[in-house]
Homo-oligomer: A and B are copies of this chain.
């Protein structure tokens, strides 16, 4: 069978068989999957003594991705990564995924394989097993919708509402890279010859294949190093506002402390944007915002030791006063609000 065959000629069963075959030899942990792909539903043995964490997030062609900017392998990778990020933000560990594919009729086997390659890469990194899914035709673009089941121990959950005044705000990694990478891709969409320099190449890679902070989230939950957490899918400003609102506190962020990716800061400045605001507002950063109680300093050190080189940067503090502010050069500004998908 030619790999450029349109899937329409394979039929739904053929597509499911292909997916099943791709995942059957997988080296992923079994996670006690009693029944996998190919029955009415999947069956799994629950993680012992754990709570269930459930999330769903999807990528829609023309809304969340553009084939000129991302390969289908990148799309498959990111569709799972954004869900892994949500589980990490609850302090849990991901376990089992359901993959719902809505495919344009012209989709080829090569394209399906690329998508599954990327998905498998992320699954292997995050130790996620594919439990099942659904394949159907799309009347428009490609849609990759993923649901993810994770586990966390009781009383080790990190909600958005657990922060207290005086807790210190930390962010993992760096911010602004996703938005800058997408900005560069948009600006260079026409000219195929343009090559990003090494800093921008990092931003583009971060946009295409974000690294969810699975380990940091799981350790922050398990060790109770954090009092609250949220991922930065809609930007840091949005995350701070949400955590403050749900915790019934305010927050103050120190602009000078923000770990803005240097190539992103450059890119924003060259495009006439304020790097601080652009990095705060930019979506597509799958970093974590964590709040840490002053009494948890010891646990924070343990977390930092286990972060495998990913920096945890102190960026501000939760306040009793319910305002959410950005302190810059001694003046307070209102924090810009985040990204919305409509």
Contact = CB atoms under 8 A, between A and B. Distances in A.
Number of this chain's copies in the complex: 2
Contacts of A50: 46
A313 interface: no
A246 B37 CA distance: 13
A53 to B, nearest CB: 5
Contacts of A137: 60, 63, 341-342
Interface in A1-57: 7-8, 10-13, 15, 34-35, 38-46, 50-57
A98 B131 contact: no
Contact of A102 (B58, B90, B340): B58
Contacts of A160: 39-40
Contacts of A60: 102, 136-139
A335 interface: no
Contacts of A340: 11-13
A121 interface: no
A149 interface: yes
A180 B275 CA distance: 61
Given A102-B143, A137-B342, A54 B42 contact: yes
Contact of A35 (B35, B44, B159): B159
A85 B40 CA distance: 9
A75 to B, nearest CB: 15
Given A11-B340, A340-B13, A342-B10, A133 B40 contact: no
Given A100-B58, A102-B58, A139-B141, A231 B86 contact: no
A100 B56 CA distance: 7
Contacts of A140: 138-141
A152 interface: yes
Contacts of A40: 55, 85-87, 89-90, 160, 229-231
19 contacts: A15-B342, A35-B157, A39-B160, A40-B90, A40-B230, A41-B92, A42-B54, A43-B54, A54-B147, A56-B132, A57-B100, A57-B134, A60-B137, A60-B138, A63-B138, A63-B139, A100-B147, A105-B342, A143-B143
